[in-house]
Amino acid sequence: MALAKLLSQSLTRRVAGSGFGSPFARRSHSSVFASKTYISPKARFFNTSSPKRNASSAKDASPSPSSPFKNRWKLAKRVGLGIVAASVFFYGVSIYNFRHPDPKQPFPDPSKKTLVILGAGWGATSILRTVDSSLYNVVVVSPRNYFLFTSLLPSTATGSVHSRSIVQPIRYLLRHKSHFVRFYEAECSDIDKDGKTVEIRRKTSDGQEFVQQINYDYLVCSVGAETQTFGIPGIEEHGCFMKEMWDAQKIRTRIMKCLEQAQFKDLDPETRRRYVHFVVVGGGPTGMEFAGEMADFINADLKSWYPELANDFSVTLIEALPSVLPMFSSKLREYTKSLFAKTNINIRTQTALKKVTSDSIIVEVTDPEVWAGGNRPRPLIKNLIESLNEQTNRRGLIVDDYMQVNGMPDVFALGDCTSTAYAPTAQVASQQGAFLGQLFNKLGSLDFEKPRVDRHIAIGEELDSAALISLANEKHASTKVFRPFKYSHQGSLAYVGHEKAIADLNVPFLDKQIHASGYLAFFFWRSAYLSELYSLRNRTNVLLDWIRTSLFGRDISSL
C-alpha cells in the first residue's frame, strides 16, 4: 500500500541515481553474461565425453538468441529482488533512526517566544509535526502522553487490533524535533488571557495534586471535546462511550464478562439472550463501524467458542435520525443497510435513547427535526465561552480564518473544541494543525518585518498575532504572506463489517466523487488507514494484528 509505494519510490530514486544500479547497466551486463555461458544442446552432449572438444565446440557454436520472455523474466526477478533489498534497507534505516533520536538535541533559545500547545490529539500533533521548534520555546500540555488514532478505536474494542498498536507516545515525536520540546502530562484547568498564563494540574496516584502556571506568547487550544450525553439518565453509570482508549478497553472487558455471565448455570433463556444482545447508539461512522466489527467478532469467533449461545447473539443499532450515515451518498447508505440486514444487525432509525438501566434501555420514536451533535465542550472550553462576550456559541470556540479565538489575543483554537462550518473530524483537525504549524513558522521568522515591528514596540504598542498577520499581509499585498485556512475534503470512509467497506472519495483533478463499496473499498480502507497511521511502528503493529486476527481469530479472555 502506501508503504510499498514509498519503498518502490525510494527504489526508483536509488536505481535512477546510481549508474551501477541502473536498469540499462543491468540489462547489458545480463546479455554479456548470457552470450558467454550459452551452450547449445549439441555442445552439452559433447561435454560429457570430451572436455577439450566440448570447449572448442562451445566456442564455435553460434549462440542462439535467448527468448524475450526469458530475458524479461530475469529482469523482473532482479527488479523484484532489488525492491525487496531496498525495502529491507529502507525499513532498517527507518527503525534505526526511530530508535536513535539525537542525544544532543539543542535547547531552544530562551529569548524566543513561548508557544504552548494544549492537547496531544489530531490537531496538536499535526502542528507539532509542522512547526519549526528552533523558532520557539515549545511546551506541550496534555493529560495523556500519547496520540490516539481514533479511526481504529472500534477495532480495538473487539480485539481485531491491539490497543497499543494505534497509539503513539508523544515523546517519540518530540525527541525527533530539531530542538527540544517540553512536555507536561497534566490538564490545563484555566487560561488567563490578560496575564498570558495557563494553569496546569497533575494528580498523582496517591491523591496529591500539583498545580503550576506557564507563561505563553502564543497559545493553541486543541483539547478536543467530550461525548454528548444529553443528560440521558443512567448513561454515565451503565453505558460505555467510544472516545478514548480506556473506553474501548472497558467495552471489550464488558463484552467478555457478559458472555461468561450468559453461560452461568441454569440461566433462563430470556436473561441469557439479554446478556448477548449488544445495543449500539448512533448511526454515524463510529457506531456503524463498531456494529460491523461486533458482527464480525460474533460470526468469526464467538459462535465457535460459545456454541450454546450461537442462536442468541444479536446486535441492534439505534439512531435518532431518519437515516444512518448521513454524510455518505444514498447509494452507499442503502448498500450498508442491506449488508447489515444480511449479517443480522437490526437497524432502528428515528429511535432515541431515553433512559439506561443496568439491564435495559428505554427508547422513544423521535421527531426527525430534533437532533444535536455528538460532542460537547470540555469544562475548560465551556468556562472560556461563558467568560467572553465575543463567544456566543455554546458548542465550541468561535475562531477567525486564521484560527485566532475571538476575544483572546494570541490564542488559537482548532479541531473539536471549536465551532466552525466543518464537521468535527480528524481530517479537519489535522489540516487545521498543518495550517497553524506553517502560520507559526511564518510568524516566528518575520525578520523582514523587524524594523516595523520594532518601531511599534518602541512606541509601546505590543503587536499581537492578529496585528503581525495584517501587517505582513498589508506590506506584501500581492503575495499575501498569510492566507486564510481552506479545508479540502478528501472524502469519507467506513468499515461496515464482513470485510466490506464504503467510500465516498473526492477526486480533485477530475472534479468528481467516486462511490465504492465491498471488498475493493475494504482494501482501500485498510490501505488508507495504514498509510495514515502515525508511524512505521504503528503501521507494522496494525498490519501484524490484522494478520494475527485472520490466522488465530480475536482473543476472548475477559482481561
Ligand X SMILES: Cc1cc2nc3c(=O)[nH]c(=O)nc-3n(C[C@H](O)[C@H](O)[C@H](O)COP(=O)(O)OP(=O)(O)OC[C@H]3O[C@@H](n4cnc5c(N)ncnc54)[C@H](O)[C@@H]3O)c2cc1C
Residue nearest to ligand X (CB): 121
Closer to ligand X by Cβ: residue 313 or 534: 534
Is residue 156 at the binding interface for ligand X, with CB under 6 A as the rule?
Answer: no
CB of 193 to ligand X, least distance (A): 16
Chosen residue from 43, 116, 127, 153 binding ligand X by CB under 6 A: 153
Closer to ligand X by Cβ: residue 90 or 522: 522
Could you tell me which stretch among 98-106, 143-151, 465-473, 482-490 binds ligand X (CB under 6 A)? Answer: 143-151
Q: Would you call 484 helix, strand, or coil by DSSP? A: coil
Closer to ligand X by Cβ: residue 196 or 262: 196
Is residue 242 at the binding interface for ligand X, with CB under 6 A as the rule?
Answer: yes
Contact 306, 488 (CB under 8 A): no
| Among candidate residues 437, 281, 302, the one with its CA nearest the CA of residue 363 | 281
Is residue 123 at the binding interface for ligand X, with CB under 6 A as the rule?
Answer: yes
Give the CA distances from residue 194 to residues 189, 197, 410, in Å, rounded to whole numbers and listed in that order: 16, 8, 11
Could you tell me which stretch among 52-60, 91-99, 141-149, 332-340 binds ligand X (CB under 6 A)? Answer: 141-149
Is residue 427 at the binding interface for ligand X, with CB under 6 A as the rule?
Answer: yes
Could you tell me which stretch among 64-72, 94-102, 149-157, 400-408 binds ligand X (CB under 6 A)? Answer: 149-157
Handedness of CA 383, 387, 391, 394 (dihedral sign): positive
Is residue 222 at the binding interface for ligand X, with CB under 6 A as the rule?
Answer: yes
Cell of 430: 489535522
Closer to ligand X by Cβ: residue 54 or 427: 427
CB of 249 to ligand X, least distance (A): 13
Locus of grid cell 468499515? 495
Cell of 397: 470556540
Could you tell me which stretch among 18-26, 363-371, 416-424, 441-449 binds ligand X (CB under 6 A)? Answer: 416-424
Chosen residue from 159, 224, 377, 497 binding ligand X by CB under 6 A: 224
CB of 145 to ligand X, least distance (A): 9
Chosen residue from 144, 175, 526, 548 binding ligand X by CB under 6 A: 144
Sheet strand arrangement including 137-142:
182-185, 137-142, 114-118, 218-221, 411-413
Contact 152, 159 (CB under 8 A): no
In the shown chain, the binding pattern of residues 338 to 377 toward ligand X, with x for contact by CB under 6 A and - for none, equals ----------------------------------------
Pairing of strands 361-365, 375-376: unpaired
Chosen residue from 161, 188, 291, 463 binding ligand X by CB under 6 A: 188
Q: Would you call 24 helix, strand, or coil by DSSP? A: helix
Could you tell me which stretch among 68-76, 147-155, 177-185, 540-548 binds ligand X (CB under 6 A)? Answer: 147-155
At 517, phi and psi to the nearest 5? Answer: -150, 165
Closer to ligand X by Cβ: residue 119 or 283: 119
Closer to ligand X by Cβ: residue 7 or 123: 123
State the Cα–Cα distance between residues 507 and 443, nearest whole angstrom: 33
Closer to ligand X by Cβ: residue 57 or 126: 126
Contact 317, 324 (CB under 8 A): yes
Give the DSSP per-residue string, 109-129: PTTSPEEEEE--SHHHHHHHH
Which amino acid is present at 277? H
CB of 361 to ligand X, least distance (A): 20
In the shown chain, the binding pattern of residues 51 to 90 toward ligand X, with x for contact by CB under 6 A and - for none, equals ----------------------------------------
How big is the site for ligand X, counted in residues (CB under 6 A)?
Answer: 32
Chosen residue from 142, 158, 163, 168 binding ligand X by CB under 6 A: 142
Is residue 420 at the binding interface for ligand X, with CB under 6 A as the rule?
Answer: no
Give residues with Cβ within 8 angstroms of 218, minimum separation 6.
113, 114, 115, 116, 136, 410, 411, 412, 440, 443, 465
Q: Would you call 48 helix, strand, or coil by DSSP? A: helix
Locus of grid cell 530542538? 179
Chosen residue from 187, 293, 449, 545 binding ligand X by CB under 6 A: 187
Could you tell me which stretch among 85-93, 221-229, 265-273, 437-445 binds ligand X (CB under 6 A)? Answer: 221-229
CB of 236 to ligand X, least distance (A): 17
Locus of grid cell 530562551? 110
Closer to ligand X by Cβ: residue 82 or 143: 143
Is residue 118 at the binding interface for ligand X, with CB under 6 A as the rule?
Answer: yes
Could you tell me which stretch among 26-34, 94-102, 172-180, 218-226 binds ligand X (CB under 6 A)? Answer: 218-226
State the Cα–Cα distance between residues 78 and 450, nearest whole angstrom: 57
Enclosing H/E stretch for 237: helix 235-238
Which amino acid is present at 262? A
At 492, phi and psi to the nearest 5? Answer: -125, 145
Q: Torsion angle, CA of 410/416/417/420, rounded to 10 degrees?
A: 70
Task: Tell me which residues touch ligand X (CB under 6 A).
Answer: 118-124, 141-144, 150-151, 153, 187-188, 222-224, 242-243, 286, 378, 380, 415-417, 424-427, 429
